[in-house]
Amino acid sequence: MRVGPDGVWRATRTPDGPAAVRLTAEGSEVRVRAWGPGAAWALDAAPELVGCHDTCGGFRPEHPLLRALHRRLPGLRIARSKAVVEAAVPSILEQKVPGREARRSYAGLLRRFGERAPGPAGDAGMLVPPRPAALATAPYWAFHPLGVERRRADTLRRVNAVAPRLEEAVHLPVADAHRRLRAVPGVGAWTAAEVAIVALGDADAVSIGDYHLPHQVSWALTGEPRGDDARMLELLEPYRGHRGRVIRLLEAGGVTAPRFGPRMSRQSIAAL
């Protein structure tokens, strides 16, 4: 993706092939243009991509902070990209490593395995995510120069090997979609939740096992600077059905817990 004065650009791989999408806002409207073999599919999926089908029905936050954020951020939506594997790849790269390191690996993966985006996006240097077959058949050591050790590399290969089955998750009930994702070795609760909120529009997704999230929720809702998964789930329970929405509100509102220790350091893949 690229965000600039000319709009939001996204390069994606659809069931019909690569596509590039440009979204611009004009008042209360979002205008969409698309290029490439997957352009028609991308245009049809655009309303879900920008959250038009999301509903806040039943979300009545009683906590003062959440009420204030809900009023201040009325445009926040849980979007639905309908691109499961496309969301899974960067999520797998984020497993147990600092975010900046995962982003560096993902950028390298795009340069190594991606392809030029259609239309003006390609002229600007944007790349479409790799074909699943390219990642499924790559040897694990091909990911080493990208800073990805064998454990995550093998998970990437397994996920892409069953890409058609995983893409079917967009048509399943959310609970069944989570089970299908977690049936792949290496995809746990955290990764499934990260994929579900992006690709499936799951407003209730909670990333269990996150390094920062329990602290963020505990601090925001109780003033406790530290928390664990059990405490986070306890605090989010009154918002079941919208627990992922609560987390998105906190993130969009810039709410963070105090930091008491050093940042996670980069690790050599030889140590993982």
Vertex 81, ends 80 and 83: CA angle to 5°? 130
Q: Is the pLDDT of residue 19 over 80?
A: yes
Q: What is the pLDDT at residue 262?
A: 59
Find the mean pLDDT for residues 16-33: 95
Q: Can you read off the two tokens belonging to residue 41?
A: 């599919």
For 231-256, what is each residue's pLDDT tens digit? 999 999 999 999 999 999 999 999 99
Nearest alpha carbon to residue 217 among 253, 174, 265 = 253
Cβ neighbours around 87 below 10 Å, total: 21
Q: What is the pLDDT at residue 39?
A: 98
Q: What is the pLDDT at residue 171?
A: 97
| Distance from C-alpha of 196 to C-alpha of 201, rounded to nearest angstrom | 6
**Mean pLDDT of all residues belonging to the chain:** 95
Q: Is the pLDDT of residue 269 over 90?
A: no
Q: What is the pLDDT at residue 241?
A: 95
Q: What is the pLDDT at residue 261?
A: 61
pTM of the predicted protein model? 0.92
Angle between helices 213-222 and 229-236 (to 10 degrees): 50
Find the mean pLDDT for residues 15-27: 96
| Distance from C-alpha of 127 to C-alpha of 125, rounded to nearest angstrom | 7
* Residue 207, Cβ density class (10 Å: 0-12 exposed, 13-18 middle, ≥19 buried): buried
Q: Is the pLDDT of residue 41 over 70?
A: yes
Find the mean pLDDT for residues 78-98: 96
Find the mean pLDDT for residues 35-42: 98
Nearest alpha carbon to residue 110 among 11, 8, 9 = 11
For 92-104, what is each residue's pLDDT tens digit? 999 989 999 999 9
Contact present, 255 and 219 (Cβ < 8 Å): yes
CATH numbers and ranges of domains, the chain: 2-50 (no CATH), 55-78+203-260 (1.10.1670), 84-116+124-200 (1.10.340.30)
pLDDT bin (cut points 50, 70, 90) of residue 257 is very high
